[in-house]
Structure 1
C-alpha cells in the first residue's frame, strides 16, 4: 500500500521539483500567511482602475457581481487559491485585468495537470471569437474590460506570459512594476514566506491578538484600501 501524498505537496510538486520551494509549510503556517495577505487581496491597486474606464460595468462595485457569476464561489476565496478549480482561475484571469504578469494566478494554473496548456487553448479561442462559448464570454468581458483582446494577447506567443510561466521565468513584483509585497505577488513567494512563520499555534487566550496582528500588517505599513483612494495621475 502506497503512503498517502500530502495534498499541499502534490499541488506544489512542480515548483518543488524546479527548486523554487525548498521547504513546504504546515497547514497552520499557510493559514497565518493567508490572514496576513487578506487585506492586500480584497483591496484593488488604484493604478489598475484606469484599464476599466469606459466600460459599462467597469467600476469595481459593479463588475464584481458579473465576475462572481462567471468564476463561481471560488471568487470569494481569499487564501492561497490552492483549493480553487482550474476553470475558476482561468475565468478570473480572463475577466480581471492584471498589471504586469499575473504571477500568482499563473502559478496556481501551473499546479493543475496541463493547466497552462488549457489556459492557452481557452485564450486562443477567445481571441478567435468563433465558438459560441467565446462569443458569449467576450460579450460579458466587454461589459467590464475595454479592449480585452489586447490583454489576452499578452498571454500568448513565445514571449507571452504563459510561455514564460512554462519556463519558470517569473518576475518579482518590483520587476513587474507592481506596488505589491513580493511574498504576496506569487504563489511560490507566498509559500516560501509561510514557511518562515511560526509553526506553533498560540494558546487560545493569545490567539485573537495574534490573528489581529497578522491582519493589521497592511495598515501598519500605512496603506489604505485601493477602492477608496482617490486616483493620482502617474
Structure 2
C-alpha cells in the first residue's frame, strides 16, 4: 500500500467517487445496495487503484469506469445492517404465510436462501414475488426505489414473448413510480400481444391523457417525447380517439 496515498488524498475526489458509485448503482439496477448503505473502505488497494484511475479521467467517464471496475468493491464493502433487517422480515413472512399464502411464503424462503448464499442479484425476483403477493410497500420503498430496473426487466420479458412476467414487472414499476404515461404504454403493448385489444386501447388512452397533461405543464414536452403510438391514432388534444 502506498504510504503517501492518504496524505495526497483529495476529499472532493472521495466525494466524487461515492457519488459515482451511487449514480452507477442506479444505472445498473443496484439501487437496493445504496439502500443498504454502501460501506466503502478507501484504504483498500483496489479502491486506491480505482480512485487513481478516476483522478486521471474526465468527469464524463467516471460512471463508466465505476461500472467496469467498481462493482466488486461495492459488493465487498456494503454494510449488512439493513440486510439483517430484511432477512428477519423474510423469515417472519415465511412463517406467517406458510399456510394461507404458500407462494409468498415460498418466495420469501427462496430469497432467504439466495441472500444467505450472497447471490444478491438472483434474490431480486423472489423478493418481487413477495412484494406483489403481500404489497409490502415499506419493503418495496427500501429496496426497489429505482423503478427503471423493473421497467427494463419488463421490456426484456416482452421482447422474449413472456407476457405474464412482463406484466408483473410493469405492475411493480407503476406501484413505485406512480401512474406515468410510459407505464401505460408498456402495459398496452403487453395487452396487445396477448390479444386483449380493448384493454390495450384503454391503456393507450390513459397514456395519452398523461402525455397531454405533461404538455399542458410544459409546451416543449411533445418535442422530446418518446411515445410510440402512431400520430394518426390521436384524434383530440385530450388523448381520446375513435375506435
Normalising by structure 2, report the TM-score.
0.28
Report which of the two structures shows the higher radius of gyration computed on alpha carbons.
Answer: 2
Point out which structure has higher relative CO (alpha carbons under 8 A, 6+ apart): 1
Normalising by structure 1, report the TM-score.
0.29
Query: Which protein is richer in helix relative to its size?
Result: 2
